[in-house]
A and B are shown apart, each in its own frame.
Chain A
Amino acid sequence: MTYRLMEGSEAIAEAMVAAGCRFFAGYPMTPFTEVLEHMARKLPAVGGVCMNAESELEAVGMAWGAAATGTAAATGSTGQGLSLMQESLSEICLARLPLVVLNMARAQGDYWQATRGGGHGDYRHLVLAPMDISEAVQLAPLAFSLAADWRNPVLVFGDYYLAHTSRSVEVPSPSPAGLAPADWALDGSSGGSGHAKLISPLGDAKQRHGVGYDLSLHYQDCVEATRAMLEGVNPMVETGYVEDADVIVVAFGTPARYVRAAVREMRQDGIPVGFIRPITLVPFPAAAIASAAETAAAVAVYENNQGQMVDDVRLAVLGRAPVHFIGGLSLDSSGFGIAPDLDVAVIRSRIEEVLRAAKEAP
């Protein structure tokens, strides 16, 4: 087992290449830029392709084309760049193609963008939210296999801390098998056979089938595929001390590490609090939150934004306990997401307020 001190961006790039990624396209934007740099260096060395796309629109388009050939492909940006990509992402979902998309976000304001999507139409993509570099390295192969299994984009939701901090991580070993060749992938060879392949967000029925474009049929098929995916993927979650907790704190990504540290510290002081950390944001671990809320006096949600995931927590809790938002946008002057509030003492004091209020309640 080899460990190396790596910046998160490099570790993620290395993990993606080890997971079989052979195509990457991106456009520089802080804090995503270094992932692109590392992919540009690492992919050609294994016979892959990294494109320095002229815009985010072209980056996602190139990745779409690569995905259609059955190549394990990825792209990414920050939330701002992902805004530009939304039109394509929704169409890629409707074209039923696998793709891994990174959001090296600034703070956590892109939760709704990640989980609801900013694009048109009735689509969903899976969302993985690693808490730190080690977990990001573990989730990279899962992202590619989920994308391939469900023929659907998978978003990996990181942030500035994940991209720009360094730690000693186990160097991922390349996946020996790689991904199974997809029977739908384009290589030109079905041309002239009478059954040439078609990959389209408008559906893959051909006029010779006597159907032509029937978007009601195709969109129903997509809805069915999405339903199967959301039911077929087990929500991933980390929980701690929830069984006898008076207050459950829910947080994801980097802030969840601080929440977890605050909760552990409070437990050492004998205070009955627990935490829940969603690892998949889509599907959302609603059952784990609902079951913890059965016995808790209150649920608190910490996010580095105005309160977005708190909606999903409320939907999961469904009135079993009061839900309090204890986060808030906490930024440095650059807006990149260096958060003054990411401090165990700050978070602990907010949890204590919720606990006090819960005890005072009749």
Chain B
Amino acid sequence: MSTTPDGRLVVATDGPPDSGARLVDDFTPDLIEVGTHQLCPGCGEPVAMRSVVEILAELGLVERAIAVFGIGCYTAFSNNLDVEVLQALHGRAPSLATGVKRCRPDSIVFTVQGDGDMVNEGLQEVIHAAARGERITCFMLNNGVFGETGGHMTATTVLGQRTKNTLEGRDPAAHGYPIRLSDILAGIDGVAYVARGAVNSAGNVSRTRRMIQRALDAQAAGLGFSFVEILTMCPTGWFVETQQAPGYLGDRLAPVHSTGVLKDLAAGGPGDS
């Protein structure tokens, strides 16, 4: 580890660290109760989860918020938030969120789901909720792989991506093509906001945080259904080195699932990121 002339530490990120990890401070956000988690090193989901709860706090919505969780690695956070949580079945979070929101119209209701949960198991749920203009926000953490089962193909897996059941890479002749869910949802009436962000760089995290804020703003304003897809790293499920995962996301996933604001009714159309 080297230092800059003014004495600040420089952490090399282009190779493995020269010493083991050590805890230098506790940066756990207030709304995450236990800071340690058992997700893999390099996982993007904790970054996405942290971004969501920090924006909730910044917007002053914590005491109105009800989260509905799907099933995936991120479910590890469902019993670790200082936010009310309703745990759903795999794929079914949008209907549960609908029932919650219709009975508690003043609450801020959001789902946390993965690509396997939302695009594989429960695709009709999110599409119907969107078309109903349901005043909920759905967050999809998309890493293009079933992480919890150990790295299997989902409906968003990109062509050529190696998974445990597409060992030679996803081949469209055998396995079909990836679904770009944000693009589908942006075309549905009743949808107020759709954006796709990523957490593979500090800049992308900042842009994603703005998207989360816009989506929750749209819900609070009663504009309709809002949706943020967040591309997250899964080095374990991608079978790449931890430090290569952000680059893999940018090189392989982002060209197919391209980031940006796809719909923003409040701004009169697509936004600037």
Contact = CB atoms under 8 A, between A and B. Distances in A.
B96 interface: yes
B79 A213 contact: yes
Given A51-B102, A61-B95, A67-B99, A188 B78 contact: no
Interface string A101-117: 00000000000000000
Given A55-B124, A188-B107, A192-B62, A198 B85 contact: yes
Interface residues of A, number: 52
A3 B103 CA distance: 32
Contact of B85 (A73, A196, A205): A196
Nearest to B102: A49
A68 B83 contact: no
Nearest to B101: A65
A207 B101 CA distance: 26
A29 interface: no
Contact of B80 (A69, A73, A204, A207): A207
A245 interface: no
Given A58-B95, A66-B102, A186-B100, A196 B82 contact: yes
Given A51-B102, A87-B89, A208-B33, A188 B63 contact: yes
B178 to A, nearest CB: 24
Interface stretch (B64-72, B112-120, B160-168, B263-271): B64-72
B63 A23 contact: no
Q: Which of A62, A191, A198 has the most CB of B within 10 A?
A: A191
B99 A62 contact: yes
Interface in B13-40: 30-31, 33-34
Given A200-B78, A205-B79, A91 B89 contact: yes
B196 interface: no
Interface string B36-74: 000000000000000000000100001111101000000
B261 interface: no
Interface string A172-197: 00000000000000111111111111
Interface in A192-221: 192-208, 212-213
Contacts of A160: none
B216 to A, nearest CB: 13
A186 B66 contact: yes
Contact of B82 (A23, A95, A193): A193
Contacts of A65: 68, 86, 95-103
B104 interface: yes
A201 B87 contact: yes
A67 B80 CA distance: 22
A252 interface: no
A53 interface: yes
B88 interface: yes
Nearest to A211: B79
Contacts of B88: 61, 64
A68 B62 contact: no
Given A188-B107, A205-B79, A62 B96 contact: yes
Given A196-B85, A198-B79, 8 more contacts: A51-B98, A51-B102, A59-B95, A62-B102, A64-B88, A87-B89, A202-B87, A212-B79
- 10 smallest beta-carbon distances between A and B, as pairs: A65-B99, A61-B95, A200-B87, A65-B96, A66-B99, A62-B99, A192-B62, A69-B103, A65-B100, A58-B95
Interface of B: 30-31, 33-34, 57, 62-66, 68, 75, 78-89, 92, 94-104, 107-108, 124-125, 128
Interface of A: 22-23, 25, 49, 51, 53-55, 57-69, 71, 73, 87-88, 91, 95, 186-208, 212-213
